[in-house]
Structure 1
Amino acid sequence: MGEGIHLDALGPAGPYRSRNRRPLTSLSGAQIGEISQVPSLYARRTIAAMRAAGVLPGAQRLDALDAAAELFGSASLGGFGPDAYVELVSTASGVPRAVVRQSVEWIVDVLRSQRHTVELAMPRGAVGDWRDERTSAGSAVWARRGEVFAVHAAGNTPAVHGLWPEALALGYKVVVRPSAREPYTAFRLVEALRQAGFPPATVTLLPCDYAVADLIIAEADYAIVYGGQDVVDKYSAIPTVLTQGPGRSKILVTADVDWREKIDIIAASVSHLGGTACTCASAVLVEGDPEPLARALAERLGRIPSLPADHPDATLTVQPTASVVEVDQYLHKVAGDARPLLGGDTIVDELASGGAVLRPAVHLVDSSSATQLGVELPFPCVWVGPWQPADGIAPLRDSLVLTAMTTRAELIDALLDEPSITNLYLGDNPTTWLRPGIPHDGYLGEVLMRTKGMIRTSVGPSVA
């Protein structure tokens, strides 16, 4: 790529530079290159070629994922070494370099961990290969529901690309539609996977407009789609589409726990990765008076410095000033009667180097049923309100992650049984805690795989 970046599509036959291209820009608005936009015919032909392609055997897939981890983390790919890639992502998207590096480490860990994690969703009664000797007496076999998995990626942080490689480990062919805001991570990861041994027809990159993206989702067997509530509403009724929308992650602190000992964990839950992740806490509910906690949280978050995205200590996202002003105006609109303790005047902090930092905001609401508790914004924005046992678990529903700081076993049982709470963390664990092998929104294998009953006579070699 280099000077005048050209991001090509990566199709079954190699790179493809389309006639239709859109500009790639930096935070300042200056054009730094172009990215191809594939037409619908090319997308259809790509998916047809992917369906016709063979699948690497399981052991080879895992070896290739191990090799891809090394390449993604340390190799020069597409003309960019690892440091230059980090600089490019930060310059183009406003994600601080430290956050980009954290995201890279996460993706590398995920790729390396597939050898262990790929079978975690498989039922204990199933085997991963029909040649397993247990099928001789009859067994369940873990089998794919389809062939092609589509990824409609987001650009908030590179970490979103830590989920879909599991589909490759399971034997799917993957087509990635990268974010227009930050396509560089998707390009780098697909390049690493190809160089590591995945044939081009098994993992492709198709930058495109929304109409072609919809076609890709329709043509694939399964898809994962990232976006806001509007995206969730658009696709949620389609059973083959896994939506990754607002997390609305929350923290509950009951009266048997001293919140003063937990305030740093709460602040980290709100501000991790610049508050952009769906696992970042956007609401904190407190049994008793919530104001002291809210004020302490505002003080902690208020300490975070406003720095350019390329500063080594930067943690807050930088965006074009006009974009940050729009977010600020929306915040004022949805805040309503909530009492601001931080960011009430403005969250816009313009930088001399260009762009503006999205500063944290803390608001106090007077009820556990306040509508603001369901509002999630792409920066450290948190709503703090009261909770009492009589409120029950209703205010805690619809949470990707709930960290419950409580010792009450009956409450924990009720929270674990609530279907709309996707992940439940207890005690001193931030909402942003995640490790390879721990489900994010369930295991991807729960969606992409199924069990098939099988019994066989002795045909072919058995495996241990």
Structure 2
Amino acid sequence: MGTEKLSLSEVPTIKAITPVSQGNITRYVTVSDITGKDFAHLIQLPRMFIIHAVNTLRKGKQLTADERKIALKKAGQLFHSGTVCGFNPDDYVNQVVSVTGLPEGVVKKALQKIGDATSHAFRDSALGIAKGVPDAYSDQVKQSGCAQVVRKGAVLAVVAPGNGTGVHALWPQAIALGYRVVIRPSEREPWTAQRLVQALTESGLADYVVMLPTAHDGVEEIIEAADLSIVYGGEDTVIRYENRSDVLVQGPGRSKMVIGDDYPQQDAFELVFESVLGLGGAACVCTSCVFIEGDAAAFARAFQDYVYNRLQDPQERERYLPQLSSHRYDWWLQQVEQYQGFIFSKPEVFSLKSGTRQVMPLVMLADSTDQPIVQLELPVASVTFVPFQHQACLSFLAPALVVSVATKKATLIQSISEIPEIRNLYIGQVPTIWMQAHVPHDGYIAEFLTRSRGYRVDFG
């Protein structure tokens, strides 16, 4: 399959969204769709422009909390239902599907989720504020003393990933808390950032949010120009920023599952299936390892048969399996080769008319909980099954963004709940991909963006 290269004028151009004049910036990166064709050009800003744009943002007009609340609600509705940058919601879904290969249903759900989260950003951000902070500061409260919440800075930078759109449901809460936000969109999928930033801008928040596309060498400039940053990336990103208190790193999730020998096997199959393949299998909350109390090999083999039978249905494949470009498929073949010693059998591959492919999840087996593959996370659907014993030390579950525990054994549940490195714990028939706006993801964002201080006013 060949690739089609088009000139700058023949495909859409995505520019920065900022009140600062961009002049004649001609540096860009080409965004390709999953068939290899040029799909758009993303203008990339030089480092000096970034500094100027962030400094200008800091000097923007100050809005009251009520004004921001009204604007956020309007922006959420516009993002979900309106025409933004000339594209209606269906256009937007097609754009994201075309460049990521994610199932259409996954992107449509994210469209709804991001719109709702933006509209209700004030409500959701308040959940992370300490209960000791009063809703209103009356004269009596001020005089007797109370807690007060304050921002740790004025500008938040968000370095967005390209493997999923859901992360954009989080950062509008920063605007609710009074921050101005700088978004560096993904080079792989810039449309979600563009649509949300433009919706916010058109809704009255032009002084509170900008989108600044830049090459990788400009990312550090954005982080240094902001006061706080949220950065998405892999293990290298975690290592790079792990000692910086001003950077919240969203790295590998290493989400896991525990299946007790008392749990119904059919329910377990459905739970593991949804946790591994939901959200296209690429999100940080997708299960990458399942610990089986009992015969892990037998469970894994039976699960592989369950997956095979279920995904013979083309509608189920369309619902769960992303489409892989030729480049991504070559990479996937390399993973199959690298981990062939753990894989039961080479997964089935489905070739599509577009030249893309869909692949069955990698189903693997490890002998013990201390093998490195237990912590393996790939940006495609893959799962490693591992045997464990109820009475064993459970430290192998950490670190994990999510752990779902499928058992009714109170002592096992209690032991797992005491592991502090588990960020979210779900009990019973709850897949690891389950998320709700009122439930913290990796803690509440307000925990990172604010702090509480004592406050009292008394003039005698």
**TM-score normalised by L of structure 1:** 0.92
Residues 263-300 of structure 1: per-residue CA shift (max 9 Å, x gap): 21221011101101110111110111112321232123
Following the alignment from structure 1 to structure 2, what is the Cα–Cα distance between the partners of residues 136 and 12?
Answer: 43
Match runs of 1:169-208 below 5 Å: 169-198=176-205, 200-208=206-214
Deviation at 1:78, TM superposition (A): 0.6
The question of 1:248 aligning with 2:229 is answered: no
Contact 2:336 2:346 in 1 (8 A): no
Structure-2 change in CA distance of 1:128 and 1:36 (3 Å): farther
1:277 to 278, 283, 287: 283
Residues 146-171 of structure 1: per-residue CA shift (max 9 Å, x gap): 01100000111211211111111111
Letter in 1 for 2:326: T
Deviation at 1:15, TM superposition (A): 6.8
What's the counterpart of residue 337 of structure 2?
A: 332
1:289 to 272, 275, 295: 295
Letter in 2 for 1:304: L
Residues 213-271 of structure 1: per-residue CA shift (max 9 Å, x gap): 11101221111111111221222221111111111111101223233333212210111
What's the counterpart of residue 430 of structure 1?
A: 431
What's the counterpart of residue 361 of structure 1?
A: 362
* Structure 1 residues without counterparts, runs of 5 or longer: 460-464
Following the alignment from structure 1 to structure 2, what is the Cα–Cα distance between the partners of residues 326 and 336?
Answer: 14
Match runs of 1:109-148 below 5 Å: 109-127=116-134, 134-148=141-155
Deviation at 1:106, TM superposition (A): 1.4
What's the counterpart of residue 38 of structure 1?
A: 45
Structure-2 change in CA distance of 1:32 and 1:253 (3 Å): closer
Following the alignment from structure 1 to structure 2, what is the Cα–Cα distance between the partners of residues 17 and 312?
Answer: 45
Structure-2 change in CA distance of 1:32 and 1:197 (3 Å): same
* Secondary structure in 1 matching 2:181: strand
Following the alignment from structure 1 to structure 2, what is the Cα–Cα distance between the partners of residues 96 and 293?
Answer: 27
Deviation at 1:117, TM superposition (A): 1.6
Moved more, 429-438 or 250-259: 250-259
Residues 71-123 of structure 1: per-residue CA shift (max 9 Å, x gap): 00111111111101111111122122211101111112212332322211111
Contact 1:8 1:17 in 2 (8 A): no
Deviation at 1:61, TM superposition (A): 1.6
Contact 1:89 1:182 in 2 (8 A): yes
Contact 1:9 1:17 in 2 (8 A): no
Match runs of 1:91-106 below 5 Å: 91-106=98-113
Deviation at 1:3, TM superposition (A): 6.5
What's the counterpart of residue 153 of structure 1?
A: 160
Structure-2 change in CA distance of 1:132 and 1:264 (3 Å): farther
What's the counterpart of residue 383 of structure 1?
A: 384
What's the counterpart of residue 3 of structure 2?
A: none
What's the counterpart of residue 34 of structure 2?
A: 27
Structure-2 change in CA distance of 1:193 and 1:305 (3 Å): farther
Deviation at 1:359, TM superposition (A): 2.6
Aligned length: 452
Letter in 2 for 1:426: I
* Secondary structure in 1 matching 2:451: strand
1:317 to 296, 316, 322: 322
2:70 to 63, 71, 75: 63
Aligned-residue identity in percent: 33
Structure-2 change in CA distance of 1:238 and 1:357 (3 Å): same
* Secondary structure in 2 matching 1:330: helix
Structure-2 change in CA distance of 1:362 and 1:16 (3 Å): farther
Following the alignment from structure 2 to structure 1, what is the Cα–Cα distance between the partners of residues 90 and 445?
Answer: 31
Letter in 2 for 1:229: E
* Secondary structure in 1 matching 2:105: helix
Residues 405-433 of structure 1: per-residue CA shift (max 9 Å, x gap): 12233333332221211111101111111
Contact 1:397 1:421 in 2 (8 A): yes
Following the alignment from structure 1 to structure 2, what is the Cα–Cα distance between the partners of residues 274 and 307?
Answer: 15
* Secondary structure in 2 matching 1:196: helix
Contact 2:122 2:173 in 1 (8 A): no
Contact 1:306 1:357 in 2 (8 A): no
Moved more, 121-130 or 433-442: 121-130
Contact 1:98 1:312 in 2 (8 A): no
**TM-score normalised by L of structure 2:** 0.92
Following the alignment from structure 1 to structure 2, what is the Cα–Cα distance between the partners of residues 132 and 378?
Answer: 54
* Secondary structure in 1 matching 2:213: coil
Letter in 2 for 1:355: T
* Secondary structure in 2 matching 1:246: coil
* Secondary structure in 2 matching 1:87: helix
* Secondary structure in 2 matching 1:317: coil
Letter in 1 for 2:321: L
Contact 1:39 1:212 in 2 (8 A): yes
Contact 1:147 1:221 in 2 (8 A): yes
Structure-2 change in CA distance of 1:40 and 1:403 (3 Å): same
Contact 1:128 1:142 in 2 (8 A): no
Contact 1:58 1:169 in 2 (8 A): yes
What's the counterpart of residue 87 of structure 2?
A: 80
* Secondary structure in 1 matching 2:87: coil
What's the counterpart of residue 5 of structure 2?
A: none
Following the alignment from structure 1 to structure 2, what is the Cα–Cα distance between the partners of residues 244 and 332?
Answer: 28
What's the counterpart of residue 462 of structure 1?
A: none
Deviation at 1:12, TM superposition (A): 3.0
Contact 1:228 1:245 in 2 (8 A): yes
